[in-house]
Amino acid sequence: MLEKDIEKILVTNEEIVAISKRLGKQITEDYRDKNPVIIGLLKGCLPFMAELIKHIDIYCQIELMGVQSYHGGTESSGNVKITKDLDVSIENRHVLIAEDIVDTGKTINVVKNLLKYRGALSVEVVTLLDKPSGRTEDFTPKYIGTTIPKEFVVGFGLDYDEFYRNLPYIGVLKPEVYNN
Ligand code: IMP
């Protein structure tokens, strides 16, 4: 049903699983004995975080934070709103933020600065997708799944107007979907 709205697939489900395995292995090596807290940014992180943590083989904890930067459209609003805060203290903890996509870099910079201010020992970012051409802030994620061109994508957690998050791959919508 959803597939009829998709113009092309950019990253297949098989590729996402392979990416998650690679990143999970790297994170396992880098965070051995560090007991990190992996913080997913809702809601887009959910499918990627679920896939990624299957491939992380160390003691770690999972937390979620709600942040919103897009408000129904396809352009970043620039306003980052915390819609659900953490339930735990991250003071003296190594933190790894799990994101679906880094575009302008505004969301991640706001969250990173907040967590550092709250006393995290280190704050790094793992993102499924990186869209460096959209960047307005100086920021490079430590762990990047794959780099995509400056296109608005949906699927595997990413939405257009809160829809399409449940697609098992990353795709580009047909232009007529925006015009409806
Ligand atoms: P940034 O603050 O501009 O880096 O945007 C990060 C957030 O914007 C992501 O967590 C997504 O929720 C959203 N976003 C950025 N690019 C896209 C896209 O191509 N499709 C859907 N959501 C996007």
pLDDT tens for each residue of 123-152: 999 999 999 999 999 999 999 999 999 999
CB of residue 77 inside a 6 A radius of ligand 1: no
**Whole-number pLDDT of residue 73:** 62
Ligand 1 atom nearest 159 alpha carbon: 21
Name the residue of 10, 42, 76, 83 whose CB sits within 8 Å of the most ligand 1 atoms, as the mutation to test its pocket. Answer: 76
Is 103 a residue of the active site?
A: yes
**Whole-number pLDDT of residue 70:** 60
> Which of the four pLDDT bands, split at 50, 70 and 90, describes residue 75?
low
**Whole-number pLDDT of residue 171:** 97
Q: What is the mean pLDDT of residues 13-37?
A: 98
Q: Write down the catalytic residue from 57, 85, 103, 138.
A: 103
Percent of all residues in the chain with a pLDDT value above 90, rounded to a whole number: 88
Q: Taking each helix axis from N to C terminus, what angle separates 13-30 and 46-53, rounded to the nearest 10 degrees?
A: 60
Q: Is the pTM of this model over 0.85?
A: yes
**CA nearest ligand 1 atom 20, residue:** 153
**Whole-number pLDDT of residue 79:** 79
Cis peptide before 150 (omega within 30 of 0): no
List phi, psi (to 5°) of 79. -95, 125
CB of residue 139 inside a 6 A radius of ligand 1: no
CA dihedral 81, 83, 87, 89 (to 10 degrees): 0
**CA nearest ligand 1 atom 15, residue:** 103
Among 66-70, 105-109, 114-118, which is the least confidently predicted range? Answer: 66-70
**CA nearest ligand 1 atom 13, residue:** 70
- pLDDT digit string, tens, across residues 5-21: 999 999 999 999 999 99
CB of residue 103 inside a 6 A radius of ligand 1: yes
